[in-house]
Chains A and B, each alone.
Chain A
Amino acid sequence: MTQVLDHPVELAPPVPGTLRAARRRALLEWIAVHALGVAAALFFTLPFVFVLLTSLMSDSQALGRDLVPHTWEWGNYRKVFDTPGFLTWWRNTLVYAGLGTLLTVVSSVPVAYALAKFRFRGRNLSLMLVISMMMLPPQVVVIPMYLFWAKQLDLSGTLWPLIVPMAFGDAFSVFLLRQFLMTIPDEYLDAAKVDGCGDLRTLLRVVLPMARPGIAAVALFQFFYAWNDYFGPQIYASENPGAWTLSYGLESFKGAHHTDWNLTMAATVLVMAPVILVFFFAQKAFVEGVTLTGVKG
């Protein structure tokens, strides 16, 4: 309905002079808005462009002030891949992000379902604790956690201290899924119960298919979180380069190549690109999911 109201029909045609003036004003506004839009677009994209251009420069040119490469050195990317450890960081990042995302989804869905649909004493308290955990900086509990993983379980130098906790419900994912599951009408659950479904069957057969967009969103966020995480690998993996992730290794790249901005920027592009690609692919699935379930009410 509001779509229609956005462009109200002119009922009585105004005096021709004012109409022309109004049209001119609308045109000027269109130009002003889009000029501002282009300026903003430059601000948001030029950093990517400069990084990309520098990543293709020769070593000597990257030391200078040129903005555009004289010769396009695609071999820079090859050099980055040939850097000792780079492929290991890739593998570690995929394990951390992939396994972590999987464990988070599997462990968070039942909790979010209980918080959204079960009635029990302490439910509001649990939810408030979930929100508090969500807002807690990881540094608050890192000292005892480090002592626990490193001194008692001897697991420092690996990524397990970061992956294992994800099997026990991630606060942000629980909260987001709970908000999503709240929108599923109770009638569907009651109907399943009448058909003789137990709680687990109801969750797996009825709720999960409907919650797919919410689960996709949670998986996406968790994947990005693990991909971007610097503090976690710094605490647990720093002593063992064989366990580094891309986000953690990238900075050492700058150290090893000192002033070679071209190679450092090529590595930067390689860390950014997968996240942006995942976004472009997932965005479509995401929008599709939202439109599919958006027919509620």
Chain B
Amino acid sequence: MSTVTLASKRRRSALRTLAFMSPWLIGFAVFFAYPLLSTVYFSFMHYDGFRPPYWTGGKNWSYVFEHYPLFWPALRNTLWLVVVLVSLRVVFGLGVGLLITKIKTATGVFRTLFYLPYLAPPVAATMAFAFLLNPGTGPVNSLLEKTGLPAPGWFSDPAWSKPALTLLALWGVGDLMVVFMAALLDVPAEQYEAAELDGASAWQRFRYVTLPHISPIVMFAVVTGVIQTMQYYTQPLIAGKVASGVIQGAGTQFEPGYPDKSTLTLPQLVYNLGFQRFDYGSACVVALVLFALSMAFTALLMRRRGGLIQAGD
């Protein structure tokens, strides 16, 4: 084959790749690379959307870390949610997944019922829980009082708002249930039989046969759970809004995190700074913190091979 045809062939194949990849290449440039660089740029500018932006150096950064009253509470809440909500959700998801593999009668019905809450739209699900858990007349507190148990204030009490969000997250555990169910069914049955012959108890079989097999999936669930917690927005926002009784509409102000900053998360700060305080520069600082945290955990997800997301082939 002559070099000319080889070169033209190679060029044709490069053009073909370019053509097929073009939607994403444009999308990557316009909706990812450009706005990301622009976010970095604006984080050093003062900009309120009306007057032209001007350079302020590190002022936005020091404002967010030192003077913005909502930043550290939001970060503390995120940490709380990572430690309590994510781990409870993984344990509960594993438990429900384990349960569904043991159920032999009407398995399909049980599986669908367990999965359904995951599909409930977040705004609707949060509204439903705001009603169920409302301290005055909600069915949950009615039942708790009937049985003589203490009836907490849930979304209206700073000490109980995050546990209430955790309850909502546990209700929608269907995604993890499916992931764990698939992983549990992949564990070779012979190994359970061998362990049983060796006289292993149910706990020992779980500890020494099941857990080693599914540990990459547990890891995957934890890391994706942490990433989802970084993005946790709609549920805490709606819960706070409904509990505080703020009527939504154009121009209405809502101090996020009701009650007492207990439901604040990082994404809410971007909205608060950018679209309520019109301080686009500081909003970009929080956006970059969010970016750094998300990417750190995504890197963790890609670095681990086997079970986790694999970039190569």
A→B interface (CB under 8 Å): 2, 5-6, 8, 30, 33-34, 36-37, 40-41, 43-45, 47-48, 50-51, 54, 63-65, 67, 107-108, 110-111, 113-115, 118, 120, 124, 126-133, 135-148, 151, 165, 167-169, 174, 182, 199, 224, 227-228, 230-231, 234-235, 238-239, 241, 246-248, 250-252, 254-256, 258, 261, 264-265, 268, 271-272, 275-276, 279
Contact B295 A131 (CB under 8 A): no
Evaluate contact between A36 and B99: CB separation under 8 angstroms.
yes
Provide the bound-state CA to CA distance between A113 and B24, in Å: 12
Nearest CB on A from B288, distance (A): 8
Closest CB in chain A relative to B299 CB, distance in Å: 9
Interface centre among A40, A48, A137, A279, by most chain B C-beta atoms within 10 angstroms, is: A137
Pick from B42, B283, B290: contact of A137, CB below 8 A.
B290
Chain A residue at minimal CB-CB distance from B140 = A50
- List residues of B whose CB falls within 8 A of some A CB: 13-14, 16-17, 19-21, 23-24, 26-28, 30-32, 34-36, 38-39, 42, 49, 96, 99-100, 102-105, 110, 113-114, 116-117, 119-125, 127-129, 131-132, 134, 137, 139, 142, 171, 188-190, 193, 227, 230-231, 233-234, 237-238, 241-242, 245-250, 266-267, 270-271, 274-275, 280, 283-284, 287-288, 290-291, 294-295, 297-298, 301-302, 309, 311-313
- The minimal Cβ–Cβ distance linking B71 to chain A, given in whole angstroms, is 14
A5 with B189: CB separation less than 8 A: yes
**B181: shortest Cβ distance to chain A, in Å?**
13
Q: Which 4 A-B pairs have the closest CB atoms?
A: A168-B27, A255-B247, A141-B35, A144-B38
Q: Are B129 and A47 in contact (CB under 8 A)?
A: yes
Distance, CA A139 to CA B128, complexed state (A): 26
Other A-B contacts than A51-B132, A110-B20, 7 sampled, CB-CB below 8 A, are: A8-B193, A44-B117, A47-B117, A54-B131, A111-B23, A140-B39, A261-B131
Q: Which residues of B contact A241 (CB under 8 A)?
A: 250
- Evaluate whether A167 and B122 lie within 8 angstroms (CB atoms) in the complex, with A33-B102, A44-B171 already known: no
CB-nearest residue of chain A relative to B139? A50
Residues of chain A within 8 A (CB-CB) of B237 are 230
> Taking chain A's interface residues, is the majority helix, strand, or loop, or is none over half, making it mixed?
helix
Tell me, in angstroms, the Cα distance from A142 to B39 when the chains sit together: 9
Report the bound CA distance from A137 to B294 in whole Å. Answer: 8
The distance in angstroms between the C-alpha atoms of A146 and B35, with both chains bound, is 10
Pairwise interchain contact B294-A135, C-beta atoms closer than 8 A:
yes
B116 touches A114 (CB 8 A): no
Instruction: Flag if B124 contacts A37 (CB, 8 Å).
Output: no
| In contact, A250 and B31 (Cβ under 8 angstroms) | no
Q: How far is the CA of A111 from the CA of B18 in the complex (A)?
A: 10
Residue contact B24 to A169, C-beta cutoff 8 Å? yes
Q: Is the CB of A140 within 8 A of B20?
A: no
Residues of B within 8 Å of A230, CB to CB, are 122-123, 233-234, 237-238
Contact yes or no, A133 B28, CB < 8 A: yes
Contacts of A114 in B (CB 8 A): 17, 20-21
The verdict on A168 contacting B30 (CB below 8 Å), with A6-B189, A111-B21, A139-B271 known, is yes
B31 touching A50, Cβ below 8 Å? no
A36 to B116, CA, bound (A): 18
Bound complex: CA of A65 vs CA of B295, how far in Å?
A: 47
Q: How far is the CA of A128 from the CA of B295 in the complex (A)?
A: 11
Contact assessment for B113 and A168 in the assembled complex, using a CB-CB cutoff below 8 Å: no
Which residues does chain B contribute within 8 Å of A118, judged by CB atoms?
A: 13, 16-17, 20
A275 near B121 with CB under 8 A, answer yes
Residues B227 and A5 in contact, CB atoms below 8 Å apart: no
Give Cα A231–Cα B246 distance, bound, in whole angstroms.
18
